[in-house]
Structure 1
């Protein structure tokens, strides 16, 4: 397989994976393109490489900038905006994990905590069963939240040791 075919396969696969994770395909493809690009790319270059509209490219770039996993790059003498990807997989994976925790886990945890407290006093069989279910899901979600926070605050070496301890 040629280098260009390999790059395209990576971009296509990353885009497909993104949709599985709830991320817009174009957003994932823009990140993939920037990950495999040696040089900073302009919006026009991204549009051409991915065959996407300017609006789609701008929306995707804005989202990736908001995630903190791509950066603007100034090129002396050029007025265009250029972009580069965070190449350190640990940095961008942890940024995405924290962002997803804030958007997905934290709101659910708030509702579960509220429901756990609201169902605690119900002494009916159905009420006790609901409370138990909510309590177990809430406890699991709290552990998951804590795990994400600890992983995000760890250095690479600490992280690997912690993960190894979890699986052993």
Structure 2
């Protein structure tokens, strides 16, 4: 397989997986393209490479920057903006985990807390509902706390030491 074919296959596959991860295909393709590029890429080059419109490229680049996994770069003498992706995979995983928690897990926790604290008429059905939603809230909260601890782990000196020893 030639380089160009391999790169295209990676970008297309990453894009297809993106929709399973909760982001749109184009956003994932742009991220993949930037992640495997050794230099920052202009929006025009992204548009050409992926055959997408300026609006689509602009909207998805903004979303990736909001996630904190794509950065804008300026080059001396250039009027165009260039973009690059987070290359450190540990840092990338932490940023994605934090963003997904903020966008998905915390809103779910809010709803679970609300629905599990309803007034009950002491019917078996209502009591079962409250019991199950309370258990689900507790489980999701523990999972979110574990995710938070895991993302904080690498930021403290002990976590860095453990990671260094494991390598």
Same fold (TM over 0.5): yes
For 1:166, the equivalent position in structure 2 comes to: none
Tell me which residue corresponds to 1:128: 127
Matches of 2:26 and 2:116 in 1, distance apart?
Answer: 39
Is 1:9 matched up with 2:30? no
Q: Which moved more, 1:148-157 or 1:78-87?
A: 148-157
- SS across alignment from 1:38: coil
Equivalent position of 1:158 in the other structure:
159
RMSD: 1.9
CA distance in 1, matches of 2:4, 2:153: 36
SS at match of 2:80: coil
TM-score (norm. length: structure 2): 0.89
Q: Render the CA deviation track for 1:92-151: whole Å, top value 9, x for unaligned.
A: 2211111111111111111211222225x5422112211111111111111111012111
Helix, strand or coil at the partner of 1:118: coil
Looking at structure 2, the residues matched to 50 and 137 of structure 1 have their Cα atoms a distance apart, in angstroms, of 41
Find runs of 4+ consecutive structure 1 residues off by over 3 angstroms: 156-159
Write the distance in 1 (CA, Å) between the matches of 2:89 and 2:121.
Answer: 47
Per the normalisation by structure 1, the TM-score is 0.88
Q: Offset of 1:91 from its aligned partner?
A: 1.0
Q: State how far apart, in whole Å, the 2-side matches of 1:98 and 1:117 are.
A: 27
- SS, match of residue 79 in structure 2: coil
CA deviations on 1:14-41 (whole Å, 9 max, x unpaired) are 0000011221111100000001111110
In 2: Cα distance, 1:10 partner to 1:65 partner? 21
Distance 1:83 1:133 in 2: 46
List alignment gaps of at least 5 residues for structure 2. Answer: none
Whether 2:26 is the aligned partner of 1:31: answer no
Structure 2 match to 1:40: 40
Q: Distance in 1 between matches of 2:92 and 2:8?
A: 21
SS of aligned partner of 1:79 = coil
Alignment coverage as a number of residue pairs: 160
Query: Which ranges of structure 1 fall in alignment gaps of 5 or more residues?
Result: 163-168
